[in-house]
Amino acid sequence: MLRALGSSFCMFLLLSSVSFAQSKAPMKALIMDGQNNHGAWPKTTMMVKKYLEDTKRYSVDIARTKYTMQGDDLLAKYPLNDGVVREAKKSAVADPDYIPDFSKYNVVINNFGFGAAPWPEATNVAFEKFVSNGGGLVILHAAENCFGDWEQYNKMIGLGGWGNRTEKNGPYVYLDANEKKVVDNSPGKGGSHGSQHEFSLIVRDAEHPITKGLPKTWLHSKDELYDRLRGPAQNMQILATSFSSKAHGGTDRHEPMIMTIDYGKGRVFHTPMGHADYSMECVGFITVLLRGTDWAATGTVVDTTIPSDFPRIDKSSQRKFD
Ligand SMILES: [Zn+2]
């Protein structure tokens, strides 16, 4: 009798764990967009959404401003179908009703860009609260160009460029020719880049979950290599860098290319990669995006496999996205 009870209890435990695994709800991610100097933004939002949803770990919502800027030609091709009538503007116009409910999400991905109008103050306050209370945040390429005057945003992203960023926002941070970290307080504008090209990523911290197990060096697809980024850089770790050569109009410094920032209890994953759709087709970018988003959302990386089409030390690799 006892043995029978014991085995049915075991069966109950087994069934419970199976049904938990099967019914485990996906994590909730929110992509914020609508105003970006990069006209590819309606497409790059859809790329990020698909990359995340293809893992089956995420369901992704999009919060888009009702006044949009740039990307007009792509809005019809990548529609939201959320019933909101949007108005395209030549320059950014603030949307007073842009108040996403961050509390529903594990992680927020910012796909705004240079020249974006400020969000409503209530949104800024809710956003700061969301991240500082432990929410995940992902910062891609131009999202480090916007909101230069928002002090807490600059703390979240660690380093930024453009948007009136200067020495008032914090130092330049990079590795010098000897691969030593430099915190440079000299005056000057934050943010520039040379001509677009394929460039290598070099992992500098192979123990962090985002970079653990990745090849030490791999060739990223054509992209803008941001340099001279500056900001508060508090609680920031540089996980990978790229060498910005003067031959391509850069700095001859190793510029931060994958960063993490702790903001309160929140985790921020930040990469300046992702200028265009072709940059985001890079399998290295996709892999790092998924790892970084996992880490921002949960503090760990769920899928640590290296895709068989991951770029090599001297060969980039893309997945075409239509
Ligand atoms: Zn760009």
pLDDT tens-digit readout, 25-57: 899 999 999 999 999 999 999 999 999 999 999
In a domain, 5, yes or no: no
In a domain, 303, yes or no: no
pTM of the model: 0.92
Backbone region of residue 228 per phi and psi (left: phi > 0; alpha: psi in -120 to 50; beta: other values) = left
Give per-residue pLDDT as tens, 206-222: 999 999 999 999 999 99
Q: Please tell me the distance between residue 108's alpha carbon and the centre of ligand 1 in angstroms.
A: 20
Residue 22: what pLDDT?
Answer: 43
In a domain, 309, yes or no: no
Task: Identify the segments of the chain with pLDDT beneath 50.
Answer: 1, 12-23
Residue 322: what pLDDT?
Answer: 87
DSSP string, 97-136: T----GGG-SEEEE---TTPPPPPHHHHHHHHHHHHTT-E
- Provide the number of structural domains found in the chain: 1
- Ligand 1 (ion): residues with CB under 5 Å are 224, 275
In a domain, 86, yes or no: yes
Question: Letter for the amino acid at 209?
Answer: P
In a domain, 318, yes or no: no
In a domain, 12, yes or no: no
Residue 25: what pLDDT?
Answer: 86
Average pLDDT, the chain: 94
Q: Please tell me the distance between residue 299's alpha carbon and the centre of ligand 1 in angstroms.
A: 28
Structure tokens at 83: 């019933």
Q: Which of 174, 119, 172 is nearest to 149 (CA)?
A: 119
In a domain, 16, yes or no: no
Residue 89: what pLDDT?
Answer: 95
Q: CATH number of the domain that 216 lies in?
A: 3.40.50.880
Q: Please tell me the distance between residue 142's alpha carbon and the centre of ligand 1 in angstroms.
A: 6
Cα(287)–Cα(43) distance, rounded to whole angstroms? Answer: 18
Q: Please tell me the distance between residue 279's alpha carbon and the centre of ligand 1 in angstroms.
A: 10
In a domain, 227, yes or no: yes
Give the domain range for residue 205: 27-298
Q: Please tell me the distance between residue 226's alpha carbon and the centre of ligand 1 in angstroms.
A: 8
